[in-house]
Amino acid sequence: MKQKYDLVCVGDVVMDAFITLKEAKVEWDKKHEHPELEMPFADKIPYESLMVATAVGNASNVAVGARRLGLDVAMLTSVGGDHYGTEVLDWYHKEGVSTEYVKVNRSLPTNYHFVLTYKAERTILIKHQKYAYADPRTLDTRADWIYFSSIAEHTMPFHRKMAEYLRKHPNVRMGFNPGTFQLRFGTKALSSIYKHTYVLFVNREEAAFILGTKNEDIPLLFKGLHKLGPKIVVITDGPKGAYASDGVSCWFMPPYPDPRPPISRTGAGDAFSTGFLCALIYGMPVHEALRWAPIESMNVVQHLGAQTGLLKKSALKALLKKAPKSYQPKVLK
């Protein structure tokens, strides 16, 4: 009998080369809307350090995090036929993540990204290969939950297959965190995905972008996003905290106190999704899931690399016990 999984994570996996910059500065654009990373052009630029992280990416980070929290997890993704692809498979085996749905594209290289880190923030140079993927419809009834996130820009047919699978299996709940290319597809093109989403994870700017508005008022964003289909909506707001709505009640959750200044914010959003989603899978209500999530984020930003600080369940619970009294979700009126 084939194994049934608590969670199957779906999305691209990458190798990340973290380059900590030594000589750079941040300037705002002319409209003062977006910060821009500036470095000398046509020059040799010293850097502080280099660290290569294996098997990262939005869905992959959640897969590893969920496995560390005790769930049975599989990854549906693709790798190249090079030695980096072998490293990814070896990493999943080491972490206990099933590779049953990992497709090896032998004629292509494994995705490789460059993360330019400067003062705890990062700029990522990305490239997603045009892979073939396992058909999500082959999951059948073997997953209780799906987590779907960043995947390549050529994958609209894959999204249609995913929507068909969810339509035919209404008992399977999906967490959806749209990645760069999925946001670019547009809300209309992914309407069937949003319709079958159980919990949607976005940041405040992404929420406004999905709805085609410049109004970032949280209650309005919740109202608009619920209309697309998600039963639960989570909106993160960086170091300021996060919000969640189940369509009836809305909460604000402050961040878990940082023991030290963050080293790198790479993976903070994925860590938040990991904590929140796993709490739901374990049967906890939304307001309790909101207490798990920031602990994962806090610990991840204390390390370089998106998975280094992902916690075991016992460590998360220990930090939860040490939380200050103010670390509680607040109901929004």
194: CATH: 3.40.1190.20
48 is a domain residue:
no
Contact status, residue 166 vs residue 172, Cβ threshold 8 Å: yes
User: What is the predicted pLDDT for the residue at 69?
Assistant: 98
Closest CA to 224 of 208, 236, 238: 208
Q: Is 144 exposed, middle or buried (0-12, 13-18, 19+ CB in 10 A)?
A: middle
Q: Tell me, what's the pLDDT at 23? A: 82
Tell me the CA distances in angstroms from 332 to 65, 252, 253, 284, one per residue in order: 29, 7, 10, 20
State both tokens at 248. Answer: 């009836």
- Counts of helices then strands in the chain (DSSP H, E): 10, 16
Q: Which class for 181: exposed (0-12), middle (13-18), buried (19 or more C-beta within 10 A)?
A: middle
In a domain, residue 33? The reply is no
Domain membership of residue 40 (yes or no) is no
Give me the tens of pLDDT residue by residue for the chain, a chain 333 residues long: 678 999 999 999 999 898 989 888 888 877 767 788 888 889 998 999 998 999 999 999 999 999 999 999 999 999 999 999 999 999 999 999 999 999 999 999 999 999 898 887 888 898 899 999 999 999 999 999 999 999 999 999 999 999 999 999 999 999 999 999 999 999 999 999 999 999 999 999 999 999 999 999 999 999 999 999 999 999 999 889 999 999 999 999 999 998 898 887 878 999 999 999 999 999 999 999 999 999 999 999 998 788 989 999 999 999 999 999 999 999 997
In a domain, 41, yes or no: no
**DSSP states of 254-273:** PPPPPSS--S--TTHHHHHH
What lies within 8 Å, CB to CB, of 205 at 6+ separation is 216
pTM over 0.85: yes
Closest CA to 242 of 261, 218, 223, 258: 218
The reported pLDDT for the residue numbered 35 is 87
Give the CA angle between residues 65, 167, 103 to the nearest 5°. Answer: 50
Do the beta carbons of residue 270 and residue 58 sit within 8 Å?
Answer: yes
DSSP state, residue 206: H
Domain count, the chain: 1
Contacts 24+ apart (CB under 8 A), 213-221: 218/243, 218/250, 218/332, 219/250, 219/332
Nearest to 115 by CA among 47, 48, 13, 16: 16
CA 169 to chain centre: 23
Whole-number pLDDT of residue 1: 60
Residue 25 within any structural domain of the chain: no
Helix, strand, or coil here: 129?
coil
Residue 38 lies in a domain: no
**What is the domain range of residue 285?**
5-12+56-109+128-331
264 in any annotated domain: yes
Q: Does any domain span residue 28?
A: no
